[in-house]
Chain A
Amino acid sequence: EIVMTQSPATLSVSPGERATLSCRASQSVSSNLAWYQQKPGQAPRLLIYGASTRATGIPARFSGSGSGTEFTLTISSLQSEDFAVYYCQQYNNWPGTFGQGTKLEIK
């Protein structure tokens, strides 16, 4: 089973600033990597798939990069609605596995 490790566990950023979240896979997952956003009491929402393709309706301030074992989610200018928990998930090898999440909080 592939282990996904996200860092940092918590990230404190001011509105309007840039946030950079990292995800590392224990072995290569090619570009089969997704990012999800989850707000309290809600289901996760797909943001990015294929490591860098935005899902339908996702604002352009969200961008994903990386391949192999190292991936990054960047939010270019944080809005109030972006403060949430973010999960990465690999779907290259099954079972698909998730990282433990990064909580993005207001500084």
Chain B
Amino acid sequence: QVQLVQSGAEVKKPGASVKVSCKASGYTFTSYYMHWVRQAPGQGLEWMGIINPSGGSTSYAQKFQGRVTMTRDTSTSTVYMELSSLRSEDTAVYYCARDRSYIAPWGDYDAFDIWGQGTMVTVSS
């Protein structure tokens, strides 16, 4: 079945970086964009950015520009999200989520139909 499986929880110190993985299965990896969304404890959902698994193009929310890098490995159907210069406010659950549209034009994004289970990232000294 279609699923996204994320890497395990992380604990990092302020100023460090974290890299979260999201492995896709059950569908053609390169045919659907992948988003990253985070959720701070007890808070709502915040979109971080998107990657095209086919060509590797990315678009990031302005808030994370310069601190986030999204990459992919087509040989393992895995996308990665790396966030640097971590601070306590980055403590959150990070989700990958598949864009619903099949081979959509870049920039023409849709709702998120499949979500990973989430990865808790804790930033603490």
Minimum CB–CB distance from A88 to chain B (whole Å) comes to 10
Minimum CB–CB distance from A47 to chain B (whole Å) comes to 10
CA distance A96 to B111 in the complex (A): 9
- Taking a contact as CB atoms closer than 8 A, the residue among A43, A56, A98, A99 that contacts B115 in the complex is A43
B9 at the interface (CB under 8 A from A): no
B112 at the interface (CB under 8 A from A): yes
B118 neighbours in A (Cβ, 8 Å):
43
Helix, strand, loop or mixed for chain A's interface?
loop
B45 touches A46 (CB 8 A): no
A49 neighbours in B (Cβ, 8 Å):
100, 110-111, 113
Minimum CB–CB distance from A83 to chain B (whole Å) comes to 17
B46 at the interface (CB under 8 A from A): yes
Contact A87 to B45, CB < 8 A, known contacts A34-B111, A43-B116, A94-B109: yes
A94 touches B116 (CB 8 A): no
B62 neighbours in A (Cβ, 8 Å):
95
A91 neighbours in B (Cβ, 8 Å):
109-111
Q: Which residue of A lies closest to B61 (CB)?
A: A95
A74 neighbours in B (Cβ, 8 Å):
none
- Taking a contact as CB atoms closer than 8 A, the residue among A89, A94, A99, A100 that contacts B111 in the complex is A89
- Taking a contact as CB atoms closer than 8 A, the residue among A45, A56, A97, A99 that contacts B47 in the complex is A97
B interface residues with partner A (beta carbon < 8 Å): 44-47, 59, 61-62, 95, 97, 100, 107, 109-113, 115-118
A interface residues with partner B (beta carbon < 8 Å): 34, 36, 43-46, 49-50, 55-56, 87, 89, 91, 94-101
